[in-house]
């Protein structure tokens, strides 16, 4: 090692290399930041394009169902018991003064959410109704009711024969029907 060696190594190799390495490091760091930001924006942009495309597809898919959805929501938001009463009344009007054909014995609201209500989080009401009459009228009436109120899901039905019914001692049927009415 001569008197020159140390200063040359320090001033000619170490310092310039450190300086250059710092510059290269700085530029590399800046470049890596831009690349990372670019990659992030590319990813965002790709997601944006997919999202726009999917939005158009979903929009096309949803558009035809919007009117029905609007009606369904209105239906689901409506008060249950008055609606049932209304539709039952309209349907059973055809059996007015013909008690032996179909007669509504009772209708009551059940507070307990029951097995279904305890499992699912959807809002619901439970209605229990009793009818007495013929099989056909009952089926017709329930058909009318369920057609008007598709949110009704029958949870339980019990049909039993009633031996004495009406003035003529005619055989009739008792219908106990429990409904779940899904709500909005």
Query: In the window 74-133, what residues touch another protein (CB under 8 A)?
Result: 76, 115-116, 119-122
> Among 8, 85, 94, 98, which residue interacts with another protein (rule: CB under 8 A)?
8
Task: State how far the Cα of 104 lies from the Cα of 109, in Å rounded to an integer.
Answer: 15
Question: Where in 153-172 is the site for another protein (CB under 8 A)?
Answer: 153-161
Secondary structure class of 162 (helix, strand, coil): strand
- 138 scored as a contact of another protein (CB under 8 A): yes
**Shortest distance, position 99 Cβ to another protein, whole Å:** 20
> Among 101, 151, 165, 172, which residue interacts with another protein (rule: CB under 8 A)?
151
Which residues have C-beta within 8 Å of that of residue 161, sequence separation ≥ 6? 171, 172, 173, 174
**Shortest distance, position 9 Cβ to another protein, whole Å:** 6
**What DSSP designation does 101 have?**
T
Tokens 């190799």 sit on residue:
13
């Amino acid at each position: 090692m001569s008197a020159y060696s140390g200063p040359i190594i320090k001033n000619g190799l170490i310092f310039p290399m450190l300086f250059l390495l710092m510059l290269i490091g700085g530029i590399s760091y800046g470049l890596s930041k831009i690349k990372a930001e670019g990659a992030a924006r590319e990813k965002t942009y790709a997601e944006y394009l997919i999202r726009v495309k999917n939005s158009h597809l979903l929009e096309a898919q949803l558009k035809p169902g919007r009117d029905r959805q609007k009606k369904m929501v209105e239906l689901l938001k409506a008060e249950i018991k008055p609606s049932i009463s209304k539709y039952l009344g309209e349907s059973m009007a055809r059996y007015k003064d013909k008690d032996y054909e179909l007669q509504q014995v009772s209708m009551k609201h059940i507070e307990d959410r029951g097995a279904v209500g305890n499992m699912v989080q959807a809002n619901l009401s439970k209605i229990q109704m009793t009818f007495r009459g013929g099989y056909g009228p009952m089926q017709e009436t329930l058909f009318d009711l369920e057609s008007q109120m598709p949110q009704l899901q029958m949870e339980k039905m019990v049909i039993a024969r009633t031996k004495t019914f009406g003035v003529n001692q005619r055989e009739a049927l008792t219908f106990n029907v429990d409904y779940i009415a899904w709500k909005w």
